[in-house]
Amino acid sequence: MTSSRVPARASGHPALRRLVAVETDSFAAQHWGTEPLLTRARDLPLPFDDLFSEAAVDELIASRGLRTPFLRMAKEGSTLPDRAFTRGGGTGAAIADQAGDDQVLREFAGGATLVLQGLHRTWAPVVEFAQQLAADLGHPTQVNAYVTPPQNTGFSDHYDVHDVFVLQIGGAKSWRIRRPVHELPLRTEPWTERRAEVERAARDVPVLETTLEPGDCLYLPRGYLHSATAQGGVSTHLTIGVHAWTRHHLAQEMLTVALGRAAQDPAVRASLPLGASLADPDANAADVEIVRDALLRAVSEVGAADLSAALAAADRKTQRAAPVGPLAQHALAETLTPATELHVRAHLAAELSVHDGYAALTSRAGTLRLDPTELPAATSFLERGVATAGEIGTDLARRLVLAGIAVPA
C-alpha cells in the first residue's frame, strides 16, 4: 500500500492575524508555548462582534434547547450542580438537562458565571473561525464563552492544560497572570493535582495584570496561572483552547509502533516460566532484560515515516470538516451536470492511498473507495481545490458529493 497526504493550500493565517498584531514568525519564535502576549483592539484589523455577542448568548439559552455539557455555571470557584440551571423539555422533548432560561437568569443574577461550552460545534461564526485557526496553527481548537456578572470572579486561580486565546467580546474583565507552577502540563496533569502549589503561587505578585476591553486579545501558554474579575457591567469573552500536539504524542506513538515490532520476536511472545511470581522482581529480572533489549532495538529502528500514518489518523479525529447540509448535498447530486462547479470541502485532511486492486480517499468525511483509474482525477481535484463535474467525471463527482467531499462553489 502507498499513500500520500494531499498538500494543504497556503492560507496566509487569516484567523491568527485577527488575534495577534505581531508577524506569524515572531509569534511562533517568541510566544508560542512560552510567553503570554497581550494585543489591544487598536492594533487588530477587526473587532470580534461578528463572532459572538450577548444576543447570541440569549439565543442559545432561550431558543436552541441547549443541553449539558454545552453549558455549565460556576460561582466563587465552584461549579454549580446541573439541576440548578436545567430542567426537562416538556411534552415531546422529555430531556432532563435542557437549559432553563429563568433558572439561568436566577443564578446569573445571584453572581454565577455562565459558561457556554463547545461553541465550535454550536454557533456557526465560531465554528468557521475555530476551524480556520486550527488550520493556521496546525493544532486542534475548541471554544467556550464565559459570561460573568459585574464584580464577580467565575473561577479562582488555576492553569489550563491547553494554550488559550482570550477574546473580549463585551464589558471589561481584569486579569491576573502568574508564572507556571508546572511548566508545559500535559492533558493528564490538571491543576487540581497541584492545588496547594497553585494556591501558594496565587499569593505572588502577577507577572501581568491588565483589564481587557472589547476587541482585546490575550494569549496564554498552557500552565500559566490566571484568574479574572468582571468590571462594571456584564463581561463576555471567548476562550479558544488550543490543544497542542507535543513530543509526548510522538513518544506515545513511537512506543506503540516499537511494541508491535518487538512482538514479532518469538522471545518476546514466549510464556513466562511455570509458577512465575509476577510480584517478585528477582524472579523476572532475566525476562525483563530480554524485553528491554527487544524494545530498545525496535525503538531505534522507528523513523518519522513510521509514525506519520497513525499521527495523520489521530489528527483527523481531533476536528471536523466544514459543515455541509445533507439535503442540499443530496439535491446537488440529483441535479449535477458536467458544467457544475465543485469545490473541495474545507478542512477535510484528505489522504489518498493505493491498495492491491483499488484506491481509497480517506478524510474527515470517512473513506471512499475508488477505482485506480479514478485516482488521477481525484488527485487533481483535491490538489486544485476546484473543478467542474465534467473535469472530474460526472459519476465520480456525484459520489464525491454524496460522500461529503465535494461541495457547491
CATH number of the domain within which 157 lies: 2.60.120.650
- The pLDDT of residue 6: 60
- pTM as predicted: 0.91
Contacts of 35 (CB under 8 A, 6+ apart): 221
| 292 within some domain | yes
Map residue 71 onto helix, strand or coil.
strand
Cα distances (Å, whole numbers) of residue 268 to 252, 278, 370: 20, 16, 39
Domain annotation covers residue 118: yes
Q: How high is the pLDDT of residue 156? A: 83
Q: Which of 203, 218, 242 is the last residue of a domain?
A: 242
pLDDT recorded at residue 5: 62
Q: Is residue 1 part of a domain?
A: no
User: In the numeric block, which cell numbers belong to residue 141?
Assistant: 481548537
253 with 237, same domain: the answer is: no
Q: Where are the beta strands (DSSP E) in 157-316?
A: 163-178, 208-212, 217-220, 225-242
Domain range for 291: 247-315
In tens, the pLDDT along 294-338 reads: 999 999 999 999 999 899 999 999 999 999 999 999 999 999 999
Is residue 129 domain-shared with residue 234, that is, in the same domain? yes
Contact status, residue 347 vs residue 319, Cβ threshold 8 Å: yes
Query: Do 87 and 26 reside in the same domain of the chain?
Result: yes
Rg of the chain's alpha carbons, rounded to an integer?
26
Asked if 186 and 294 sit in the same domain, the reply is no
**Phi/psi at 91 (nearest 5 deg)?**
-60, 135
DSSP H helices in 192-236: 195-201
For 379, the grid coordinates are 488527485
Domain count, the chain: 3
Cβ–Cβ under 8 Å, residues 162 and 244: yes
What phi and psi values does residue 97 have, to the nearest 5 degrees?
-120, 35
Residue 10 has a pLDDT of: 46
* Residue 320 resides in a domain: no
Q: Where are the beta strands (DSSP E) in 243-339?
A: none
- The pLDDT value recorded for residue 3 is 65
Query: Is 275 found in the same domain as 136?
Result: no
> Do residues 271 and 191 share a domain?
no
In a domain, 376, yes or no: yes
Residues 145, 67: one domain?
A: yes
Domain check: are 266 and 163 in the same one? no
**Residue 395 and residue 281 share a domain:** no
What is the C-alpha to C-alpha distance for residues 244 and 137, in angstroms, rounded to an integer?
A: 9
The pLDDT score that the predictor gives to residue 93 is 75
The cell for 166 is: 482570550
Question: Of 315, 338, 370, which marks where a domain is finished?
Answer: 315
Q: Phi, psi at residue 11, to the nearest 5°? A: -105, -20
Query: Per the domain annotation, does 213 fall within a domain?
Result: yes
Query: How many CB atoms sit inside 10 A of residue 173's CB?
Result: 25
Asked whether residue 184 falls in the same domain as residue 233, the answer is: yes
Residue 394 CA to residue 333 CA, distance in Å, equals 10
In terms of domains, do 267 and 338 share one?
Answer: no
Question: 321 lies in a domain?
Answer: no
pLDDT digit string (tens) for 136-173?
999 999 999 999 998 777 678 999 999 999 999 999 99
The pLDDT value recorded for residue 157 is: 93
Q: Are residues 353 and 227 in the same domain?
A: no
For residue 54 the three cell numbers come to: 450577548
Domain boundary among 216, 242, 268: 242
For the chain, residues with pLDDT lower than 70 are: 1-11, 154
